[in-house]
């Protein structure tokens, strides 16, 4: 008698275990599930097999080949399309000229198949369906039989109200070749939905045999783990390749070439595959470890399934989880119950994977991370959510609506119940979608939201300076990567989140220690529409209207499709400026590729400035925080030149006070300030450090080296719109063209570069730099800055990326190049020494 093994399924419900294997090849006690079926058939003298393949057939063929290694004869049939269960068997019709048995390749059962066949013979049936009783028949096909075991009714996947029996179809059938006349050629045809109901209608001899024994459909990851539990508990007998060891009170199965340092920590049923190394001090209970694995000291495994080539570092704890092939579990990492880690994934040291999380293949979980939700598409799970005041992630991949809702709830939990927060976003559609989810989370924590909807970040910060809200957030498209989303978090003063605020929100997020509002007390959303008028009033109050009106500059501004285009042209027109606005409309579809588009846009802007004889051109960053300036000749200024120009104009205008610049800004800022008896404050390079400095009443200008300025007279926050107006005002009041104002400023040669540097090495590099600077004049505001008279070099580790920045300034280009090259070489050498 022949048997047909159905092995064509995609295994979608059991992902990610099937990410690189067809479902029948998933290991069950270190052998493919389907091999257990082959063994069962062999046990009942069925050795002539037809395997019906469809998905990844080559993996199955490569393993079983002609079947001779397993004592059977195998014929493979691979239909060219999905034909349904009966349709697929029809494709093998030419091999099935006599009575045959059909069985699924992904079952775990110890049914006595002989009894099923004998029953079929006795009843002279055309088809016999093997039946079993289950506690939860809802996901199966329920079968009703009469007292002669003749089938009278089918119920496919019934609801609880429809359940009239707990007897289900197990997918094991004995069939006569006559059934093929019911199955059409080349059509999708199913046994339980099409064939058996037709037979029932025709009153053909269709019987159900209630089998005794164990049966489980290994359809999803829970069922897969439960199958192991059942085997550990002895509910089903299974052939295990690894030989049983003679240890009293233990059921140890140890493969060939296994190194087992100490068996005292092993408990219950423990299977260790060939060539695996288990070091001492481990505690392993009811677990199966695959081949070529290493289990280091102090590892604790309980009810675990570990496939081949896994490396579990010392002190790791894994409970009731599945670790697939080529996985590395870091030192002291913890996998809670129900975790699935798919192939080729690395879990960092001390990482925690929360219960029931599934990690898809080829992921990198950073050390110390806490993974709370399934990780499917992204490549990396970061240790911390925040990069400064920003949470960044791929839109709808890493930052999904459900992730944002949780994040919103965590953020809301950090704030007083009943308080208000201010919400805003850019014009991007993903920003709107994700912001809505985030707002839902905030409301659930009992915090109210005032929604500014689409707005520019400077406006949101400006409103936060007033009373009413305890914080704010802004959703925007990623600045470096258009596929990513950034959420900027602000405190009640409109400043970037401090690290303690970020840590607080992060802790609540990871621990899921949310404050859920009572059903009658969720937060409310109110729209807030007149912030633009409020901003405009303050904006105009902070400028000298007379000077601006008198000068009546013509300026060209590329608004980059940002919401700033709805405000700034009107204000500048009111101040007497003639504004030629480019890309001055909001386009939700825009934004992508904009970084690449910047250079051509600047070149175009330069042409327009020249042809219109404008006094200046501006490229306003889509966030409306940063600007790029073109002088009246159309020359594009870089960030350092713009900072120099702005400083020179501010000082020439006669304003007295302090100028705040980051540690890497050029020293000509000090030279200019000294001449005008003003001071310079050097700050750390972080945005928050700069803006905190700008909050001082003494500061008249805070400027970065990338075109962002905070002018505390209006607001102590980076505001590209006000920076444009202020530059025009300063240029008009000083009364010289911008190109001349830049030429007047003391010149210097300023160079910078970045070198890749892994995170673990950054500290070492800075220690080496510190040792190297012992006999030199050095400052340690941020990174290490070494002074050589008027020249200096700064080595600054990047806060968010694995790189180190080197900045050099000298009087001439040659010296600056020499200094930069010298320190570049030093850092490269230190990297080699530290490896």
Partner 1 sequence: MSRILVVDDEANIRILYAEELSEEGYEVVTAAGTAEAIEKLQQMEFDLAVLDIKLKNESGIDLLQKLVKERHDMPVVLCSAFSCYKDDFSAWLADGYIVKSGDLSELKQEIARVLAKKTQRARGGQ
Interface ranges with partner 1 (CB under 8 A): 463, 466-468, 493, 528, 530-531, 533-534, 537-538, 541, 681, 691-699, 716
Min dist. Cβ of residue 466 to partner 1 (A): 4
C-beta closer to partner 1: residue 176 or 692: 692
Min dist. Cβ of residue 652 to partner 1 (A): 24
C-beta closer to partner 1: residue 556 or 710: 710
C-beta closer to partner 1: residue 493 or 597: 493
Task: Judge whether 193 and 3 are in contact, CB under 8 Å.
Answer: no
C-beta closer to partner 1: residue 432 or 688: 688
Q: Is the Cα dihedral 690, 693, 694, 699 positive or negative? A: negative
Min dist. Cβ of residue 351 to partner 1 (A): 36
DSSP codes, 221-246 = HHHHHHHHHHHHTTSS----SSPBP-
Distance CA 396, CA 400 (A): 4
Min dist. Cβ of residue 564 to partner 1 (A): 19
Min dist. Cβ of residue 513 to partner 1 (A): 27
C-beta closer to partner 1: residue 328 or 463: 463
C-beta closer to partner 1: residue 200 or 781: 781
Question: How far apart, in Å, are the Cα atoms of 605 and each of 67, 432, 628, 763?
Answer: 73, 30, 11, 43
C-beta closer to partner 1: residue 14 or 680: 680
Task: Judge whether 43 and 237 are in contact, CB under 8 Å.
Answer: no
Min dist. Cβ of residue 668 to partner 1 (A): 23
DSSP codes, 78-96 = --SS--HHHHHHHTTGGG-
Min dist. Cβ of residue 461 to partner 1 (A): 13
Distance of CA 564 to the CA centre of its chain: 31
**Burial of 496 from C-beta contacts in 10 A (0-12 / 13-18 / 19+):** buried
Query: Is the peptide bond prior to 342 cis by the omega test (within 30 degrees of 0)?
Result: no
Q: Is the Cα dihedral 563, 568, 569, 571 positive or negative? A: positive
Alpha helices for 564-711 (secondary structure H): 568-574, 594-611, 639-652, 668-675, 687-694
Tokens describing residue 40: 């069962």
C-beta closer to partner 1: residue 520 or 530: 530
Looking at residue 217, what DSSP letter applies? E
Helix (DSSP H) and strand (DSSP E) numbers for the chain? 21, 52
Min dist. Cβ of residue 700 to partner 1 (A): 13
Distance CA 660, CA 707 (A): 14
Min dist. Cβ of residue 463 to partner 1 (A): 7
How big is the CA angle at 396 (ends 392 and 402), to the nearest 5 degrees? 90
Task: Specify the 3-state DSSP secondary structure of 183.
Answer: coil
C-beta closer to partner 1: residue 112 or 498: 498
C-beta closer to partner 1: residue 155 or 658: 658
Question: How far apart, in Å, are the Cα atoms of 714 and each of 204, 539, 721, 728?
Answer: 89, 6, 11, 15
Task: Judge whether 604 and 556 are in contact, CB under 8 Å.
Answer: no
Where residue 547 falls (left for φ over 0; alpha for ψ -120 to 50; beta otherwise) is alpha
Min dist. Cβ of residue 528 to partner 1 (A): 8
Tokens describing residue 122: 């006795």
Task: Judge whether 661 and 669 are in contact, CB under 8 Å.
Answer: yes
C-beta closer to partner 1: residue 621 or 719: 719
């Amino acid at each position: 008698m022949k048997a047909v093994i159905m092995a064509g399924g995609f295994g979608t419900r059991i992902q990610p275990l099937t990410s690189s294997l067809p479902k029948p090849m998933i290991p069950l006690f270190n052998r493919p599930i389907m091999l257990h079926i082959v063994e069962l058939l062999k046990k009942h003298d069925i050795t002539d097999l037809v395997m019906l393949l469809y998905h990844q057939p080559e993996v199955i063929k490569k393993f079983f080949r002609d079947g001779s290694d397993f004592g059977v004869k195998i014929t493979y049939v691979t239909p060219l399309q999905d034909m349904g269960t009966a349709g697929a068997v029809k494709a093998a019709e030419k091999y099935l000229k006599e009575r045959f048995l059909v069985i699924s390749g992904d079952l775990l059962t110890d049914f006595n198949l002989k009894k099923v066949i004998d029953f079929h013979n006795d009843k002279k049936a055309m088809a016999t369906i093997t039946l079993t009783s289950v506690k939860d028949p809802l996901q199966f096909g329920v079968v009703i039989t009469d007292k002669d075991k003749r089938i009278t009714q089918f119920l496919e996947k019934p609801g609880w109200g429809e359940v009239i029996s707990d007897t289900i179809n197990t997918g094991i059938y004995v069939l006569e070749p006559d059934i093929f006349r019911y199955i059409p050629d080349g059509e999708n045809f199913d046994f339980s939905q099409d064939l058996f109901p037709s037979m029932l209608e025709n009153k053909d001899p269709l019987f159900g045999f209630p089998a005794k024994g164990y049966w489980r459909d290994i359809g999803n990851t829970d069922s897969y783990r439960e199958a192991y539990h059942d085997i550990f508990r002895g509910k089903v007998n299974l052939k295990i390749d690894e030989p049983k060891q003679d240890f009293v009170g233990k059921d140890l199965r140890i493969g060939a070439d296994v190194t087992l340092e100490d068996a005292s920590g092993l408990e219950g049923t423990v299977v260790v595959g060939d060539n695996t190394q288990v070091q001492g001090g481990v505690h392993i209970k009811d677990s199966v470890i695959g081949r070529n694995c290493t289990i280091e000291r102090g590892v604790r495994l309980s009810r675990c399934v570990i496939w081949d080539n896994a490396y579990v570092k010392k002190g790791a704890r894994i409970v009731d989880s599945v670790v697939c092939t080529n996985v590395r579990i870091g030192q002291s990492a913890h996998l809670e119950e129900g975790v699935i880690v798919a192939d080729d994934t690395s879990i960092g040291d001390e990482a925690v994977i929360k219960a029931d999380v599934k990690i898809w293949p080829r992921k990198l979980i950073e050390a110390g991370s806490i993974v709370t939700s399934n990780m499917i598409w992204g490549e990396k799970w970061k240790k911390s959510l925040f990069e400064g005041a920003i949470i960044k992630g791929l839109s709808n991949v890493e930052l999904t609506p459900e992730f944002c809702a949780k994040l919103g709830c965590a953020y809301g939990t950090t704030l007083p119940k009943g308080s208000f927060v201010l919400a805003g976003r850019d014009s991007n559609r993903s920003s709107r979608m994700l912001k809505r989810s985030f707002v839902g989370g905030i409301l659930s924590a009992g915090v109210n939201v005032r929604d500014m909807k689409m707005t520019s970040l400077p406006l949101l910060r400006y409103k936060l300076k007033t009373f009413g809200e305890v914080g704010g957030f802004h959703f925007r498209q990623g600045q470096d990567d258009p596929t990513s989303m950034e959420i900027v978090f602000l405190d009640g003063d409109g400043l970037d989140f401090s690290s303690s605020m970020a840590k607080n929100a992060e802790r609540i997020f990871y621990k899921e220690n949310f404050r859920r509002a009572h059903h009658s007390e969720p937060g409310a959303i109110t729209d807030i529409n007149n912030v633009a008028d409020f901003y405009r009033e303050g904006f105009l109050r902070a400028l000298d209207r007379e000077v601006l009106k008198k000068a009546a500059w013509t300026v060209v501004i590329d608004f980059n499709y940002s919401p700033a285009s709805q405000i700034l042209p009107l204000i500048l027109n009111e101040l007497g400026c003639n504004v030629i606005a480019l890309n001055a409309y909001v386009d939700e579809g825009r934004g992508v590729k904009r970084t690449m588009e910047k250079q051509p846009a600047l070149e175009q802007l330069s042409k327009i400035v020249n042809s219109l004889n404008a006094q200046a051109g501006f490229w306003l960053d889509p966030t409306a925080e940063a600007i790029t300036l073109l002088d009246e000749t159309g020359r594009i200024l870089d960030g350092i030149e713009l900072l120099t120009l702005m400083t020179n104009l501010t000082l020439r205008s006669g304003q007295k006070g302090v100028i705040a610049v980051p540690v890497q800004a050029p020293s000509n800022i000090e030279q200019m300030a000294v001449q005008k008896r003003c001071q310079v404050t050097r700050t750390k390079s972080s945005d928050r450090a700069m803006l905190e400095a700008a909050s001082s009443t003494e500061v008249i200008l805070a400027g970065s080296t990338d075109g962002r300025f905070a002018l505390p007279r209006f607001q102590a926050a980076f505001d590209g719109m006000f920076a444009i107006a202020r530059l025009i005002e300063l240029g008009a009041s000083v009364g010289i063209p911008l190109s001349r104002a830049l030429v007047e400023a003391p010149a210097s040669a300023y160079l910078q570069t970045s070198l890749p540097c892994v995170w673990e090495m950054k500290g070492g590099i800075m220690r080496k730099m510190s040792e190297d600077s012992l006999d030199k004049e050095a400052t340690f505001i941020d990174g290490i800055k070494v002074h050589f008279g008027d020249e200096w070099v700064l080595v600054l580790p990047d806060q968010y990326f694995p790189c180190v920045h080197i900045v050099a300034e000298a009087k001439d280009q040659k010296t600056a190049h020499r200094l930069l090259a010298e320190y570049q070489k030093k850092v490269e050498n230190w990297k080699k020494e530290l490896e």
